[in-house]
Amino acid sequence: MDETVKTPVRSFDIHDILKCLPHRYPFLLVDRIIEAHGDQSCIGIKNVTMNEPQFMGHFPGHPVMPGVLLIEGMAQTAGAFCIQAQERAPDAPPPLIYFMTIDKAKFRKPVVPGDRVEFHIERTNRRRNMWWFKGRALVDGQCVCEAEFSAMLVDTPTA
């Protein structure tokens, strides 16, 4: 008999993500989380379209998704899933999540309009309100970007 405890797999649609993150268009860079395993790992999706504002200047005639936005997409995916993993009262506002570090970032291949980016996020450590992650961005199964990063959750300030 297998005694390992399996974490249930969850998914979050855009409405769930909007409840967790303060980001909005044009800076919301995750459309859906298709798999979340507790606070251990998740996979987020970003559908890259030509009508996104960064392509007006990056680069005209040869649109390429800026690498920094791939890192931000990984961070937003991690943020949404760790906020969802927090136990809080139903009417409590979600905490804010602040980027703390980015390390070992590597960019392997350009991302262009029409690509579907999968953000594969793995929590590597957690101490109180600090979280550490490894992230990879994949297009068609190929790694296009990877990084290690950390973030801090803080209570939402009251007005």
Catalytic residues: 58
Which residues in 1-141 belong to E strands, given as ranges? 9-12, 32-37, 41-47, 96-107, 116-127, 130-139
- Distance (Å, rounded) from C-alpha 109 to C-alpha 81? 26
Backbone angles phi, psi at 34, to 5 degrees: -90, -20
